[in-house]
Copies of this chain bind each other. A is one copy, B any other.
Amino acid sequence: MQEIKVQLTDNKKEKPTDEQLPFGRYFTDHMFVMDYSQEKGWYDARIIPYQPIVLDPAAIVFHYGQTIFEGLKAYVTTNQDVLLFRPEENMKRMNRSNHRLCIPELDENLALEALKKLICIDRDWIPTQEGTSLYIRPFVFATEPYLGVAPSTTYQFVIILSPVGAYYKEGMNPVKIAVESEYVRAVKGGTGDAKTAGNYASALKAQEVAEKEGYSQVLWLDGKEHKYIEEVGSMNVFFKIDGEIITPAINGSILQGITRKSVIELLKYWEIPVIERKISMEEVYQAYKEGKLEEAFGTGTAAVISPIGELFWNDYKITIHNGATGELSKKLYDTLTGIQTGKEEDPLNWVMKVEG
């Protein structure tokens, strides 16, 4: 494994207080950078002061969006240990995304080492207040200055760190969601199962429209028939119907969320029935009418669990659990964040300690 060079900053930034922290607006003192060329492969792994990226205006990323990213979090425990939650899953998914976008594979061990080393260097930036964490954003982008539509021959892999505030500042608050019937996030054969920029760019419009109508996110239906449920905002989604937990099966257009996977594994560990299958909006509506729609929630790295209080679909208002957080949603949130922050035992061996 190649050596990671370190150049420390001479100008440490002032840190925000934990109370001031929003999501993704503050960045730490250092960043990790590594370059790729066809001749050298991935080379020059280095930690350097946080600084601007300098690119030719013709760099492929600006024109053809050849880029992927990951997102995960680090937490400080009450014993002052630093914990990561299933980071090897992020590294695996990063390479699956690379593959879909024709980006050369990264050494997952090196990427994980880089991430840990960077966290150690900027350790003082990890917030400690309840609900806060250090958000970690690894990303790769195409740097070759070329206007032809072709995979780049050069890339840069960067990791930046952002201390982030509590997602639920005033306790868990179920969200109102509009079911999107015009715009489509992704379709089988597209890039929906890769963590790549275009998926998010394409989602902005629907989100804008939903917000104007008073909804905080959209629920995405499949691109073929506009019937089957895929995701909610940029999260995976679960429904509790008549005692059973249902989440849309991975189908090529749904992102394989790591929180999604963990929720499924945790439910199985608890021996609560959980099934991955196609589920239509019609089915959810029928369950609601029959009084069997007990809970619904999104899962993702930022919110962990995001309970859904209301769905708006075809002029129907579907109220879930009287608009309040369901017991299972709360239990999943408490358990997952408990494991992530080292407050609860970790029966499935998910957390990784950052040493050094």
In the complex, per-residue mask of A1-34: 1 if CB is within 8 Å of any chain B CB, else 0: 0000000000000000000000111010001000
Q: Which one of A63-71, A86-94, A239-247, A308-316 contacts B? A: A63-71
Q: Which one of A112-120, A198-206, A291-299, A344-352 contacts B? A: A198-206
Complex partner residue of A52 from B54, B61, B186, CB under 8 angstroms: B54
How far does the alpha carbon of A141 sit from the alpha carbon of B149 in the complex, in Å? Answer: 18
Q: Which one of A188-196, A261-269, A322-330, A332-340 contacts B? A: A188-196
Whether A131 sits at the interface, judged by CB under 8 Å, is no
How far does the alpha carbon of A162 sit from the alpha carbon of B148 in the complex, in Å? Answer: 11
How far does the alpha carbon of A151 sit from the alpha carbon of B203 in the complex, in Å? Answer: 10
In the complex, per-residue mask of A55-87: 1 if CB is within 8 Å of any chain B CB, else 0: 111110111111101010000000000000000
How far does the alpha carbon of A203 sit from the alpha carbon of B66 in the complex, in Å? Answer: 10
10 shortest A-B CB distances, which residue pairs?
Answer: A198-B198, A24-B147, A65-B197, A184-B189, A64-B200, A65-B201, A187-B187, A187-B223, A65-B65, A102-B204
9 contacts between A and B (CB under 8 A): A54-B54, A55-B55, A64-B201, A66-B204, A147-B162, A184-B188, A190-B223, A191-B198, A224-B225
